[in-house]
Copies of this chain bind each other. A is one copy, B any other.
Amino acid sequence: MLPRTYDNQVCSVARALEAIGDRWTMLVIRDAFRGVSRFEDFQKRLGIARNVLADRLNRLVDEGILTKKAYQERPERFEYRLTEKGLDLFPVLMSLMKWGDRHAPDEAGPPLVVLHRGCGGEIDARLRCDRCGESITALNAEARQPVPSAG
């Protein structure tokens, strides 16, 4: 559990960040999407401290975002794989990536292109209206607050 929870925050964003909102977790998940599954590989690719990595992996397993399974006995060796809950973080990761591509670009250009398998098209991370299909941005969105105590 994170040392400081956001219990006072009645918001899905806060609850999501309680699960994945520290400095390393999202990068662990990113590497998991890239197919990394073993302790040593996470550690080498990220340069994260081993104790911190062990802690993050355990937490992600507790959260149901990763599963830990032995891929061989004698000697026992483990792999960490994304669950469905973890796989559902894909849009979060892609919108982060798109934002980084646009606003914090590397000189070498976008280092990773993600494509629609088979089709070969690129990912469009824009939000859509589920009624009219138009693109939704911060400028044409509005929040409907649930009525505080009138239900």
Interface residue tally for chain A (C-beta within 8 Å): 84
Tell me whether A54 is interfacial, beta carbon within 8 Å.
no
Shortest Cβ gap from A98 to chain B (Å): 7
- 1/0 contact trace for A29-44 toward B, CB 8 Å? 0100110000000000
* Chain B: CB-nearest residue to A9: B27
Per a CB cutoff under 8 Å, which of B13, B99, B116 touches A100? B13
How far apart sit A143 and B94, CA to CA, in the bound complex (Å)? 12
Contact A141 B114 (CB under 8 A): yes
Q: Which B residues lie within 8 Å of A105 (CB)?
A: 12, 15
Contact A115 B137 (CB under 8 A): no
How far apart sit A5 and B100, CA to CA, in the bound complex (Å)? 15
- 1/0 contact trace for A112-146 toward B, CB 8 Å? 11111111111111111111101011111111111
Shortest Cβ gap from A118 to chain B (Å): 7
Q: Which B residues lie within 8 Å of A122 (CB)?
A: 129-131
- 1/0 contact trace for A10-34 toward B, CB 8 Å? 1111111111011100110010011
| Given A26-B21, A119-B129, A127-B91, CB of A144 within 8 Å of CB of B16 | no
How far apart sit A123 and B12, CA to CA, in the bound complex (Å)? 15
* Chain B: CB-nearest residue to A112: B143
Shortest Cβ gap from A9 to chain B (Å): 7
The interface of chain A, by Cβ under 8 A from chain B, is 2, 4, 6, 8-19, 21-23, 26-27, 30, 33-34, 46-47, 64, 82, 85, 87-106, 108, 110-132, 134, 136-146
